[in-house]
Chains A and B, each alone.
Chain A
Amino acid sequence: QQQVKQSPQSLIVQKGGISIINCAYENTAFDYFPWYQQFPGKGPALLIAIRPDVSEKKEGRFTISFNKSAKQFSLHIMDSQPGDSATYFCAASMGAQKLVFGQGTRLTINP
């Protein structure tokens, strides 16, 4: 029940295309859903986060879509660029408690 399932494991998108990564969770007590971007040899960086009172949040080219009834949330990267090539992790937590991470998605943007 504490798991967050992320898909796909890897994704290849052409430059300018839309990258979509999906996550599903079981625990309905989760109330904070962040996405992290990690480059090789670096720590994860908070990209964007959402709480369940909204269905969508947009920051620049990055959008989180949240479906509370389906217990799913996704990250959309519009106009994907080679610099977006990285590993992306979704996560979830209850309040200020520990994060539960998804398995990660390795995104490659082809020029």
Chain B
Amino acid sequence: GAVVSQHPSWVICKSGTSVKIECRSLDFQATTMFWYRQFPKQSLMLMATSNEGSKATYEQGVEKDKFLINHASLTLSTLTVTSAHPEDSSFYICSAQITGIGEQFFGPGTRLTVL
């Protein structure tokens, strides 16, 4: 149980385009989902906390207009990187939290490369 999927697993796009990443909790409902980015050999950096049916809470320094987060249902959250640039190239990972319980379960990650 507690499986989280992400789609796509990798994406290559041209500078200036937008990319959408999906995060799904497959066998449980997640009131809260989190979005992280991870640079090579570094720890996970929390970008935003996404609550179903409400606006996401962004961490300091994360541009909310660039990283659009939607959490429309208890099993799906999406991250859209708008007008992507090479510096946005990174490994994006989502996690889902079982409602009422602290454990977070992570997706397999999405490798974004912006040319």
Residues of A participating in the B interface, judged by any CB pair closer than 8 Å: 32, 34, 36, 41-46, 49, 89, 93, 95-96, 98-99, 101-104, 106
Contact = CB atoms under 8 A, between A and B. Distances in A.
Contacts of A101: 43-44
Interface in B7-66: 32, 34, 41-44, 46, 49
A46 B103 contact: yes
Contacts of A42: 108-109
Contact of A43 (B100, B102, B106): B106
Contact of A95 (B46, B102, B104, B108): B102
A102 B43 contact: yes
B25 to A, nearest CB: 13
A96 B49 contact: no
Contact of A49 (B34, B93, B103, B107): B103
B85 interface: no
